[in-house]
A and B are shown apart, each in its own frame.
Chain A
């Protein structure tokens, strides 16, 4: 149905609008899944208006629904409900708006939701998003703590109060975000981007009190999970929850069971830490002092060893040795002299014992020839020989008168 138009022959708005309407109205009914938002039920009106929002992308479509159809859903659907609707695209020519005319609304079942979360979990796990090696270590004492929570929420109060009780000087930068409903995942991601971009923020806590599975759906949102896994700041998930934990718990670097628990996990207790430091300091001091004492004693012991303390003793020992040698030398010599002198005396006695002196004293005399030979036999002399007679006190000459053998 080509329409010939030109500046001189423009088409009427109704022609175009009706054309679009008839084209769109040819589209058949489809099953669509989304999240209900901006639902308005006017008093006394028969039509419900609202927006059906894509669960992940920031895309939405207006919808209209017969009030009876809307209110027949059990349990009732409200803003934030995840639904599957049977709807036909409808162009309202009068206002030029497009809306889905909803014929039927069904809840996305809890079981179905869980199954989806499970499937998403498998997918992300297979990609390695939950792997232990990706977990970043939390700083011991963060400079500034980023906090994402609902405005005026109990979660905010719990985190702040508990953290400050433990470490009064702790600093927070808080970004508020809706923590349930269709906008939550997006707002949390925006807050996360801001805090992650702030270099002074060293850890980010995403906190929310407990809630139903549906309430907590934003915290299993694929977009949010990926954003958390890519954040360079360590992230703590602090979602109070029932048995089914949101996927945020798995991707976060630390999973706290509640906002209060998160405060305890991210901030050390100042008193406990100071105590620990004091104890360590004391132990260190004791250790170094006793080491010093021990070494000082050991050194003193070494220094007082005679070989070091009194080196004179070594010299003394040597000089004693010399003195002893001198003494020995002297003694040896004396001894020898004594012995020699004894020997002499002894020999003198022998000489004396052997000398004829005693015999002479008894009245004997010795006759000697001129050459000194003692006369023993007659044959030695002849008459007229001059002999020497030796007596005790001298000698005198005698003459041989005659010789005669006996």
Chain B
């Protein structure tokens, strides 16, 4: 699961993830399709997580920098 450099935006990843889950839940897919969907879902979830973690990290860094040197 290479999530080091996500190529799609957070919003795209999340939107696709929701769609993947919807399809999985709706059923009616072949086993092979289900497996592919699930793998894609895991990948997308990791991408989203990566974005969010990155954002939090940047936020924390910026805050720390600001608190070190007020004004």
Contact = CB atoms under 8 A, between A and B. Distances in A.
Interface of A: 274, 281, 285, 288-289, 292, 295-296, 298-299, 302-303, 305, 307-308, 311, 314, 318
Given A302-B18, A308-B24, A296 B52 contact: yes
Nearest to A306: B25
Interface of B: 10, 14, 17-18, 21, 24-25, 31, 34-35, 38, 41-42, 45, 48-49, 52, 55-56, 59, 63, 66, 71
Interface centre among A298, A305, A307, A318 (most CB of B within 10 A): A307
Contacts, number: 49
A305 B56 CA distance: 24
Contact of B25 (A288, A303, A305, A311): A305
A298 to B, nearest CB: 8
Leading 9 A-B pairs by shortest Cβ distance: A307-B24, A311-B38, A299-B48, A308-B41, A303-B45, A307-B25, A296-B52, A305-B21, A307-B21
B8 to A, nearest CB: 15
A305 B18 CA distance: 11
B48 A308 contact: no
Given A308-B24, A308-B41, A289 B59 contact: yes
Contacts of A302: 14, 17-18, 21, 45
B52 A292 contact: yes
A288 B71 CA distance: 21
Contact of A292 (B25, B35, B56, B63): B56
Contacts of B31: 318
B52 A314 contact: no
29 contacts: A274-B71, A288-B59, A289-B59, A292-B56, A292-B59, A295-B10, A295-B48, A295-B52, A298-B14, A299-B14, A299-B17, A299-B45, A299-B48, A299-B49, A302-B14, A302-B17, A302-B18, A303-B45, A305-B21, A307-B24, A307-B41, A308-B21, A308-B24, A308-B38, A308-B41, A311-B35, A314-B24, A314-B34, A318-B31
A308 B45 contact: yes
A303 B17 CA distance: 9
A298 B51 CA distance: 14
B52 to A, nearest CB: 5
Contact of B63 (A285, A299, A307): A285
B47 to A, nearest CB: 10
A281 B49 CA distance: 25
